[in-house]
Homo-oligomer: A and B are copies of this chain.
Amino acid sequence: MGDHEVVIETPRHNAKLSDLQVEEMENILWAYRERIRDMKTDSRFRYAMVFKNYGTAAGASLEHSHSQLIALPIVPKRVFEEMEGARNYYNYRDRCIFCDIIRQEIREEIRIIEENGEIIALAPFASRFPFETWILPKDHRPSFEEMGDYKALAQILLSILNRMDRILDNPPYNFVIHTSHFRESYNEYYHWHLEIMPKLTKVAGFEWGTGFYINPTLPEDAAKSFREVPL
């Protein structure tokens, strides 16, 4: 039992997400927000996830630029693990782990790709994939759909997708938005974020067997390349 919706990102058949204007991207993010808020009114659901598959190697089966929303009656395994980890950290330190990561990354600078007043994009310390990028609100915001404004996010997301196109030659990629679960839209320990995973390497037996990931690209090198690309 669940719900599945497709967001058609643009009326132009040949445009890809990275070709859009900031206002168009903002509208897409507002559509995600409105649809998640509607899904939340259905008491059967516990969680909503936004994801995008771009390029056949990333699992896209339609050409026209689109993303997807899914509502689930349970919290997904990966989100549950993140939430449990964040909750344990909070119980120990009395601080949100994502807020602490952002503070540390701003201090160290080397893994930051871009930031504006509200949003930051960085190459995570334990990146699973080459050029994996996380986009987060700088302030403590548990739920994506509770943001009052999406302009700062639209700007950074578009910029990252364009940097990816330039450096990696229009690569296949997935992105997912991890937000809090419906029962606890506000909490002290979770912090919504958007994970972008370019699909440059193959996930093989080692990864399937262990749940560990072999990544030949240092996040510091990925962030540096991203920063230096002329836009």
Taking Cβ atoms with an 8 Å cutoff, the residues of A that contact B are: 49, 51-53, 56-60, 68, 70, 72, 76-79, 81, 174-178, 195, 197, 202-206, 208-212
Contacts and interface: CB of A to CB of B under 8 A. Distances in A.
26 contacts: A49-B206, A49-B209, A51-B204, A51-B208, A51-B209, A52-B205, A56-B202, A58-B202, A58-B204, A59-B204, A59-B205, A60-B204, A68-B206, A70-B206, A72-B210, A76-B209, A76-B210, A76-B211, A78-B208, A174-B204, A176-B209, A177-B209, A178-B209, A195-B208, A195-B209, A203-B203
A78 B204 contact: no
A209 B174 CA distance: 9
B174 A210 contact: no
Nearest to A177: B209
A85 B4 CA distance: 30
Contacts of A205: 51-53, 58-59, 68, 174-176
A210 B59 contact: no
A176 B208 contact: yes
Contacts of A70: 206
Given A176-B209, A208-B176, A210-B49, A202 B78 contact: no
A78 B53 CA distance: 25
Given A203-B203, A204-B53, A204-B60, A79 B210 contact: yes
Given A51-B206, A59-B203, 20 more contacts: A49-B210, A51-B205, A51-B208, A51-B209, A56-B202, A57-B202, A58-B202, A58-B204, A58-B205, A59-B205, A68-B206, A70-B206, A76-B211, A76-B212, A78-B208, A78-B210, A174-B204, A178-B209, A195-B208, A203-B203
